[in-house]
Amino acid sequence: MGALQKKDEVWKYKKYLCRAKLFDLVAGGKIVVLNEAEAHENDLYASHRVILRRGQKETIAIIDLSGDLVSRGEVGLFAEVSAELSAEDGDQIEIIHMQRPASIEFIKKKMDGHTLSASEIETIMRELMENRLSEAELASFITSVYIRGMNEDEVAALTSALVSTGETLNLGKSPICDKHCIGGVAGNRTTMLIVPIVAAAGLYIPKTSSRSITSAAGTADTMEVLCDVSLDIEQMRQVVLKAKGCVVWGGSLRLASADDKLIKIRNPLSLDPRGVLLASILAKKKSVGAQYVIIDIPIGRGAKIADKADAADLGREFINIGKRLGMKIEVLVTDGSEPVGKGIGPALECNDVLSVLNNAGPADLRDKSCQLAGALLELSGKVKKGRGTQVAEQILKSGKALAKFREIVELQGGKPNIKLSDIPQASYKYEVRAEKDGRIFHIDNKMISKIARAAGAPNDKAAGVLLLCERGDQVRKGDVLFEIRSNSEAKLSFAIKALEGWAAVDLEKTVLSSIQ
């Protein structure tokens, strides 16, 4: 029998043959279409799983049924399945029944509010990777965890299971550092400053970052303005061994691969079950061999975490589970109520980063980055407690961080000695002005990001928003609050029109009179 039959489960060997009918479409998963009548005669129904075999190649797919798309004796193969089988139209495909996945009972167990064992969680992740679970079943798992929660044993088990589904980075070096931000803050490109500061201090920091989902830019989108971020695991390893740090897109690597599949299920309803969130973050850290990790939890109006108490609870869970996994973690609760930096959008954020590295730029971005980098230097034992921020500031002021950043950019395929003038500029801009006198009370993270996306970010690297005010500033009617930038007149017009419904900058209300 083939490799898939060598699992620790009993397979049903009932099977029949069909001719391949290729659909030049991507289904978003391994799905095949069977003739409905013929499938029912063979005791196969929608959402059942089958093994598909062509010669020595085989894969698992989920069934869809149709009376029109395929005739008797045919099987419709979408792009994912036909590629895996190297199938062409008319090829003979063997269709083999499969037993119901064991994970179904474990998912139902969680739905009923019971605790899952490490082996049960591992089975769910393994069957997920084998494509034995449908999106509906995975959604049920995510929903059950969202409603029922997970204890620390379950989260630690899920983290380990996620790590086992992908590659791992083995540098053979120590100490290895990492950081993560929970997100939700516009701008906030601290990673691109922390990595060169920490690497310049002599510590290894192999940083994987994400692309934007709903924001104007992820760290990977911003770094991509300067260099390649789609490195494979060996390329990443070589960069880190030479420069001690990197900033690469996690999606180009196969770290904790099951997590990427779970993210696709979580995104439509923006479900972030705490247990899955913790495991997702920590699995990526464990996969790169991190020993010391700083977690940034921004709180405040519009942030993902609303208050200090909730942040403290989440922070304790990070620390406790990290300890189980052999990682020393420190959590910093930061102000996430407003954007960090002036630029919102890849090139504009890149401008902020290079400006700070050149000892200019936004003070809030510089200060937060040095605070986080300093905490990581202290956590690793590189510097004494209480001196981390000062040491980070010295590395920044000395130019060592800039030199290290340029080294990393060049090793990742970017231009040597990158300068501010190398950052692309948008062709069009529009100034948004204050409609009355007042004091800046609040700058909304979500609204600013929506405007930047409407202008074309992150796909248009130069598009976005440049903030020209900050909380507490006194402004006059007609003063410029921010600029919208884009390389598309049409998208710029759309962003301008969208301003009518989006209040991105709030002014303090004026007290007209008082009663004595």
- Catalytic residue set: 272
187 closest CA partner among 303, 298, 352: 352
Length of the chain: 516
Tell me the two tokens of residue 84. Answer: 């895996």
Q: Take residue 433 and report the two structure tokens written for it.
A: 């002005």
Residue (of 251, 216, 206) closest to 412 by Cα position:
206
Cα 381 from Cα 391, distance rounded (Å): 13
User: Do 458 and 440 meet the contact criterion of CB atoms below 8 Å apart?
Assistant: no
The tally of CA atoms less than 13 A away on the side-chain side of residue 394 is 9
Query: Is 174:244 a contact under the CB 8 Å cutoff?
Result: no
Q: Give me the phi and psi of 372, to 5 degrees please.
A: -70, -45
- Under a CB-based contact definition with an 8 Å cutoff, are residues 371 and 193 in contact? no
Residue written as tokens 């959008």? 345
Q: What is the largest CA-CA distance in the chain?
A: 91
- Taking Cα atoms as reference points, which of 480, 479, 492 lies closest to residue 427? 492
